Structure 1
């Protein structure tokens, strides 16, 4: 694939072969690692600073149980959502790599500015801009994988990507907590900036996955045509709703877990370790997904995972209610450890199912799916953050509600009479 693209862009076979040696083939492990690193840029900007919430509350004069600092997450997610509407369509016209470099530049500048902001309001603004920059590697990774693969191979690749980038939430909180012992919390914000700068250099080995003849105009009429193609597709719209609900569960987990561990269970010092262990279950689920999607098929795997998620979410809600919102820590963590692998099976496969029918407008599709799911999930998560009442009830009830909507939608979309066959590589 990489060699073919290089020939098309260079105009001659010799030039294409020379460039192919400088690029990572789309069939290589390096390509998967690059895509995982792109996806991880957003996660790194979030998970590394989670242990710093207590320091941030103290620095900005907030109450120890204040949830106001969660706006640094919400603002980032909203920027992440808005930015994808720009990078996706623009990448359909100018190629994936130029827009990737543009987003990384915004990421570096806004991340540096965030580290210098003296007020929470200024930090929130910078975090929104930071999210705008992070939108490029996140959405373009999805588009580049769709350029290279289709159907169940795309789903398997996305599962492998998730299995790699989940290493960020495994290690980032612990590393952040260790770093806070020797540096102020603002210094943590510069770590993702350094990572993005490194990615920009490494991305020179990335092949351009969108050949010139498949690029689309950015004229308003052409953009509207592409947008209509995305919004009118039943499969894409349905699985976008699924991804939105799943992302709502993830943002609720990320935004609430630190204060739940600290306030409900009084184990704030154990937060990085518990969070890291739970994140490892995400990676295990993603690796399992990469194997199962080939063996049992994408649609059947989605149905099985939806049933599993709904059952575990229901048990979590029952536990929360039966214990008066204060269950034993071990039981709460055990159910979360069972829930998250189901999430890591559903997320990449639902994304793949949403993207499958639209290889001709992959950038626009990735933008719309990413924008709606990120913005919707962030808003759902912010509602759950605001509902925190000193117990795990709001979080647990939100999880089962979001899981019910996601699972119900999957059941409707994968009924034998309505089931769709994943599209292949364009």
Structure 2
């Protein structure tokens, strides 16, 4: 895939040590810090239940995921202004240090409550990597090139869910289950050392003072930018589906379909569809256009979610594995045509506030998605029906939000990635 040239002038180009390929690979690895903090430990859920006397098939282990997302959401609101004031690299190092504390604390936690607290701290650390990764992409790219770059990053990033459960299972087979936490700590150290090669990407002209009033004005501008706010809300619903799937996948595969031993393989195959969607999206979005592509995908996605509900209800919550899981995989894979593109469209009007905008949109998406996903996953035990209904309703909410944004900003239908004044208008 060939990306458009980065949005830096020839005069500024020499400041970057890394090639475009290495830069995007590093960004993918930085974002993998967040993914590893989620996917690597899924095979350890049974061991966690046993170690903390939670009971067989207890859904309490889902909190290990949701508290991570909550920490991820809350901290982004702090990291955003810091990244716009001090630059991307200092925030990356700060987040990495907190990430290490959370991972080590999780490995050593004597009680389930302390494990959850450590996971929350871990999420706070992971938030720094998430804010920095998105802000760097926005610093270096814009418009269709940014959408393509984000897709390339997501394609590499999605290899983590493919490999992580297998790696986690392998670690648990030969080492104590806490080794999955230590693995993440080692990965954080590796990324920190690699990032020493990264040049600061924040334009000095875009540095913002770290003052309460300035920070509030920045967040207010982002929140009141119609396109940014609307598309962020749309991604909250989609993030809710992601969270519900991550928290429920082990129960669905092990208890509903009685395929516990095959969990890493099945989870990895579903994640492969994520990666495939990201790769295809990166190849077609510049030709088709963000808004036209998003609309087409929703027209396919919504019938698939409705079909999942019908299959679940008709089979009393236990549909055929060979029908339901491929359908679920295609449903989740289609999100790779939605999330990168909606995120790009949301950040386009606020490039001068990339760190702040990335933080606010990311915080809202993670926090809202954690709440919505928890509401869905809490209903999942021995049936796919609650999960299927929850997914269908969340996808419908995302689509309806997009329709509202389009109606209030009609010029978006022309697929102009550089918004018109009407698109950027703040809502009062």
Band of TM-score, shorter chain: over 0.9
- Partner SS state of residue 410, structure 2: coil
Corresponding residue number in structure 1 for 2:422: none
- Partner SS state of residue 181, structure 1: helix
C-alpha displacement of 1:7: 7.2
Contact 1:5-1:208 at 8 Å conserved across structures: no
- Partner SS state of residue 216, structure 1: coil
Q: Distance in 2 between matches of 1:83 and 1:6?
A: 35
Query: Comparing 77-86 with 404-413, which one deviates more in the overlay?
Result: 404-413
C-alpha displacement of 1:307: 1.5
Corresponding residue number in structure 2 for 1:423: 418
Q: Which runs of 5+ in 1 are unaligned?
A: 9-15
C-alpha displacement of 1:380: 1.0
Q: Distance in 2 between matches of 1:356 and 1:85?
A: 19
Corresponding residue number in structure 1 for 2:23: 31
Q: Which of 274, 284, 287 in structure 2 is aligned with 1:295?
A: 287
Contact 2:6-2:140 at 8 Å conserved across structures: no
Corresponding residue number in structure 2 for 1:305: 297
Q: Which of 40, 52, 57 in structure 1 is aligned with 2:32?
A: 40
Corresponding residue number in structure 2 for 1:11: none
Q: Distance in 2 between matches of 1:182 and 1:67?
A: 26
Contact 2:7-2:141 at 8 Å conserved across structures: no
Q: Which of 247, 254, 261 in structure 2 is aligned with 1:262?
A: 254
Give 1:74-89 correspondences, 5 Å limit: 74-89=66-81
Task: After superposition, give the CA deviation of every residue in 1:313-345 in whole Å (9 maximum; x if it has no partner).
Answer: 111111111111110111111101211221111
Corresponding residue number in structure 1 for 2:355: 363
C-alpha displacement of 1:372: 0.5
Alignment partner of 1:316 is 2:308: yes
Q: Distance in 1 between matches of 2:203 and 2:218?
A: 18
Corresponding residue number in structure 2 for 1:60: 52
Contact 1:285-1:340 at 8 Å conserved across structures: no
C-alpha displacement of 1:369: 0.3
Aligned residues: 412
Contact 1:2-1:24 at 8 Å conserved across structures: no
CA 1:52–1:5 in 2, change beyond 3 Å: closer, same or farther? farther
Give 1:215-234 correspondences, 5 Å limit: 215-234=207-226
CA 1:105–1:2 in 2, change beyond 3 Å: closer, same or farther? farther
Corresponding residue number in structure 2 for 1:412: 404
C-alpha displacement of 1:6: 11
C-alpha displacement of 1:134: 0.2
Task: After superposition, give the CA deviation of every residue in 1:35-55 in whole Å (9 maximum; x if it has no partner).
Answer: 111111111011010001011
- Partner SS state of residue 161, structure 1: helix
Give 1:376-387 correspondences, 5 Å limit: 376-387=368-379
Contact 2:79-2:91 at 8 Å conserved across structures: yes
Q: Which runs of 5+ in 2 are unaligned?
A: 420-428
TM-score (norm 1): 0.93
Contact 1:101-1:200 at 8 Å conserved across structures: yes
Give 1:11-410 correspondences, 5 Å limit: 17=14, 20=16, 23-25=17-19, 28-410=20-402
Q: Distance in 1 between matches of 2:400 and 2:228?
A: 16
Contact 1:5-1:209 at 8 Å conserved across structures: no
C-alpha displacement of 1:389: 3.8
Q: RMSD in angstroms over aligned alpha carbons?
A: 1.8
Q: Distance in 1 between matches of 2:10 and 2:206?
A: 14
C-alpha displacement of 1:122: 0.4
Q: Distance in 2 between matches of 1:39 and 1:124?
A: 22
C-alpha displacement of 1:204: 1.1
TM-score (norm 2): 0.93
Contact 1:303-1:411 at 8 Å conserved across structures: no
Contact 1:357-1:422 at 8 Å conserved across structures: no
- Partner SS state of residue 189, structure 1: helix
C-alpha displacement of 1:415: 4.9
Task: After superposition, give the CA deviation of every residue in 1:147-168 in whole Å (9 maximum; x if it has no partner).
Answer: 1111111111101110000000
- In the TM superposition, structure 1's runs of 4+ consecutive aligned residues that sit over 6 Å from their partners are 1-8
Task: After superposition, give the CA deviation of every residue in 1:365-391 in whole Å (9 maximum; x if it has no partner).
Answer: 001000000001011111112112410
